[in-house]
Amino acid sequence: MKTSALHAELVKLHRAPIWLAFVALPLVAAAIGTFNYVSNLAILQDGWFDLWTQHTLFSGMFFLHALIGASCSWLMRLEHRGTNWNQLMTAPAGTLRILASKLLAAWLMLGVGLTVTGALFVGCGKLAGLPGLPGPEYVQWIVLAWVAGLASIACQLLVSLLIRNFAAPVGIAVIGGLVGFFLHAYDKGLAWPYGLVVVALNSNGNGALSAGQLIPFLAATAVYTVAALGIATLIMTRLDVRTGS
Amino acid sequence: MNCCIQTDGLTKTYGDTEVVSSLDLAVPCGSVYGFLGPNGAGKTTTMKMLLGLVHPTAGTATVLGTLVTPRNRLQVNAHVGSLIESPSCYPHLTARENLEVVRSLRGLPKSSIDEALATVRLDHTGSKPVRAFSLGMRQRLGLAAALMGNPELLLLDEPTNGLDPAGIQEIRELIRSLPAERGCTVLVSSHLLSEIDQMSDHVGIISHGQMVWQGPLSALHAQARHWLELHTTDDDRAAQLLKASRTDEGWVRVRVRDDESVARMTLGLAREGIGVVRLEERHEDLEDLFLALTGTEASL
């Protein structure tokens, strides 16, 4: 039988309390965004698009990165507690495979978070009385944000590998998201791994990714992801396994 | 002797402190090897080096005929089960889910979970999360994880920690039976001499990171000094005639010799009109030997 580090990670997600955050945080972001939208209808007259910018303004700037930070902290803290690194590192699965499995698990979790974000966007829009349904471009933005999330996740796994505490890496993720948001405002979103999600979401209404921007966007995502994963693998293979926290 | 574990000058240094010093460990295949030493002697660090969890500062370790290196660590560990420090577990999962994690990581069949749970008698825990388990139940779960897939070699670090007396006995019997029933070699560490005495057939005693004694347990027993203690109708004269010492309790203590010498001694005393009323054989116990070898108490 073939070993499956990814299946092992997915089993660990059973009844995981972290799932609560994946409903609560998008809900808070949607509530704030909808409240802003409804309160400023006089100036926000672009229907679904204005609701989207209000929703994702907070998601992109703050909540999605908090979610990424929390999921990575949780996935790494599972191993930091007790002697779990011993079990994981004595299994016949390579270090890169173990980290890649955590990356994929966190990516699937982000997929859930973004699906909830999308569903809340549509639900809140209907509650706010918007006509019809949002166009397919919103689905495209969510999918691109999911792809871009790989870079943030890889960086956060590295941060959570080095900082064994739960909250500090989440704080770093939030700061990363804020820096990304401001860099995107100056059209430098691709220069920072945490800026990619903001770029993909088009949350400040600067304009969606064009076909020409797609290649640099995907390349930047791949470079940040591979670099962060590579550094984490190097650290784990070179250093002694440390247990307990 | 065919060894499943062989180390050569294995050394680990943290800063200026050498926690394992030039250790030459030789664990014969098919044995239960008791790795004995006081707390902090370097047992866990040695076991971690064998598994590739800790990189040696110097020396080499050969496990199941393969030199352990960062590159082939996975190949070697595919045949090794381990329980190091304390049991690894995810508290929000059930025992079965925890073993499902191990099964997936090791690429074992589904049936291995039921076998492992039945072996450590945790098959009744159902949907109870591990966070609600006692320390003893967690220890059993850790053992189950180590036993999964019938590894050729088991490394168990103080496996009876937290178990109740019945559980300790049960796990000792299980460990003792592993070589015969599963063809498995076991390296089991403990700071309890009595435990190693009951479980193992080979023993290595480590103190301050250095191997102070290694060999078959029977050879360690044979090293123990033997003597006779007797009470007679006139102990003072008997001690004088036999040039023997007296114990605090008043016994006459003589060095044990062969049966013929003992017979000659009792006949000699009888000829002097001294009757032997008690004659008991005494020997140094393993705890005294452990104390002499490590300079510490037998159980710390």
The DSSP line for A201-225 is: HTTTSS-PPPHHHHHHHHHHHHHHH
Closest-CA distance, B111 to chain A, in angstroms, reads 12
Please tell me which of the candidates B48, B90, B109 has its beta carbon nearest to residue A12: B90
Chain B residue with the nearest C-alpha to that of A78: B90
Helix (H) or strand (E) segment spanning residue B206: strand B202-207
Q: For chain A, say whether B49 makes contact (Cβ under 8 Å).
A: no
| Parts of chain B with a pLDDT under 50 | 298-300
The pLDDT score that the predictor gives to residue B157 is 94
pLDDT band at A62 (very low <50, low <70, confident <90, very high): confident
Please tell me which of the candidates A8, A16, A83 has its beta carbon nearest to residue B88: A83
The pLDDT score that the predictor gives to residue B284 is 76
The pLDDT score that the predictor gives to residue A1 is 53
Mutation target among A7, A9, A86, A89 for the B interface, most CBs of B within 10 A: A86
Residue B257 dihedral angles phi and psi, to the nearest 5°: -125, -165
Chain A residue with the nearest C-alpha to that of B146: A87
Separation between Cα atoms, residue B176 and residue B196, nearest integer Å: 10
Q: For chain B, say whether A242 makes contact (Cβ under 8 Å).
A: no
Chain A residue with the nearest C-alpha to that of B44: A86
**Does A1 sit within 8 Å of B109, measured CB to CB?**
yes
Q: Which residue's structure tokens are 């994929």?
A: A104
Q: For chain B, say whether A5 makes contact (Cβ under 8 Å).
A: yes
Separation between Cα atoms, residue B218 and residue B226, nearest integer Å: 15
Please tell me which of the candidates A16, A93, A240 has its beta carbon nearest to residue B105: A93
**Does B105 sit within 8 Å of A91, measured CB to CB?**
yes
For residues A110-115, give the mean pLDDT: 95
Count residue pairs from A and B with Cβ separation < 8 A.
96
- pTM for the structure as a whole: 0.87
Which ipTM value was assigned to this complex?
Answer: 0.89
* pLDDT of A101 above 90: yes
**Does A14 sit within 8 Å of B88, measured CB to CB?**
no
**Does B52 sit within 8 Å of A84, measured CB to CB?**
no
Q: Is residue A232 packed enough to be buried (19+ CB in 10 Å), middle (13-18) or exposed (0-12)?
A: buried
Mutation target among A90, A97, A240 for the B interface, most CBs of B within 10 A: A90
What separation in angstroms does the CA of A50 have from each of A123, A180, A181, B6, B132? 15, 21, 18, 70, 49
The pLDDT score that the predictor gives to residue A3 is 65
Higher pLDDT: A1 or A240? It is A240
For residues A93-101, give the mean pLDDT: 94
Which residues 194-223 of B are in CB contact (within 8 Å) with A? Answer: none
> Strands B32-36 and B185-190: what pairing?
parallel
The pLDDT score that the predictor gives to residue A212 is 83
pLDDT digits (tens, 9 = 90+) for A153-198: 999 999 999 999 999 999 999 999 999 989 988 888 899 999 999 9
* Residue B103 Cα to chain centre, angstroms: 28
Please tell me which of the candidates B48, B55, B106 has its beta carbon nearest to residue A91: B106
The pLDDT score that the predictor gives to residue B282 is 84
**Does B106 sit within 8 Å of A78, measured CB to CB?**
no
**Does A241 sit within 8 Å of B105, measured CB to CB?**
no
Q: For chain B, say whether A83 makes contact (Cβ under 8 Å).
A: yes
CA atoms within 13 A on the CB side of A186: 8
* pLDDT of A40 above 80: yes
Separation between Cα atoms, residue B93 and residue B87, nearest integer Å: 14
Please tell me which of the candidates B51, B84, B101 has its beta carbon nearest to residue A8: B101
**Does B77 sit within 8 Å of A11, measured CB to CB?**
no
The pLDDT score that the predictor gives to residue B38 is 87
Residue among B257, B188, B261 at smallest CA distance from B227: B257
CA atoms within 13 A on the CB side of A192: 21
> Taking CB atoms and an 8 Å cutoff, what residues of chain A touch B52?
89-90
Lowest mean pLDDT among A67-76, A111-120, B138-147, B164-173: B164-173
Residue among B157, B179, B167 at smallest CA distance from B87: B157
The pLDDT score that the predictor gives to residue A130 is 92
Residue among A221, A184, A179 at smallest CA distance from A201: A184
Give bridge partners of residue B202 from the DSSP assignment. Answer: B33, B216
Closest-CA distance, A229 to chain B, in angstroms, reads 18
> Taking CB atoms and an 8 Å cutoff, what residues of chain A touch B61?
none
Closest-CA distance, A5 to chain B, in angstroms, reads 5
